[in-house]
């Protein structure tokens, strides 16, 4: 008889797979709708939205990585460091730490959110 944690892992894994498949389906539907309605501008909006989403995901990975002390040279998280460091490095020069807490990922997250909102609206 399999242990309960194995059942839990299968259930959680199945939920994650279903959520990811739903996400991919929604993104493809959004791309098809945008290209049909707005043509090239719609595709540019979707591409920018995807790029911003990837950047924000990388920021979240960086924050979680700092909590669990994963090396930034680990192959599992190196992609997030490569994507986010060009924005975080200059922000760290301007924004001081609050005690031991580096708030630059939070500032970068909202800065990217605001700038992308203006850019997507301009397209």
How many whole angstroms separate alpha carbon 56 and alpha carbon 60?
6
pLDDT digits (tens, 9 = 90+) for 3-31: 887 888 888 888 888 888 888 888 888 88
Q: Is the pTM of this model over 0.95?
A: no
DSSP helix/strand/coil, 79 = helix
Give the confidence band of 2 by pLDDT, cuts at 50, 70, 90.
low
pLDDT digits (tens, 9 = 90+) for 62-111: 888 888 888 878 888 889 899 999 999 999 999 888 888 888 988 999 99
92 CB contacts (<8 Å, ≥6 apart)? 102, 104
How many whole angstroms separate alpha carbon 89 and alpha carbon 35?
36
What pLDDT is recorded for position 90? 92
């Amino acid at each position: 008889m399999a242990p309960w944690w194995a059942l839990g892992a299968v259930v959680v894994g199945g939920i994650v797979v279903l959520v990811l498949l739903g996400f991919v389906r929604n993104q493809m539907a959004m791309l098809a709708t945008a290209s049909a309605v707005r043509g090239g501008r719609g595709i540019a909006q979707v591409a920018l939205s995807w790029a911003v989403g990837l950047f924000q995901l990388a920021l979240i990975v960086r924050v979680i990585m700092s909590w669990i002390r994963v090396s930034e040279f680990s192959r599992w998280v190196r992609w997030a460091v490569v994507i986010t460091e060009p924005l975080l490095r200059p922000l760290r020069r301007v924004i001081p730490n609050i005690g031991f807490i580096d708030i630059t990922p939070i500032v970068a997250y909202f800065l990217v959110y605001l700038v992308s909102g203006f850019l997507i609206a301009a397209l």
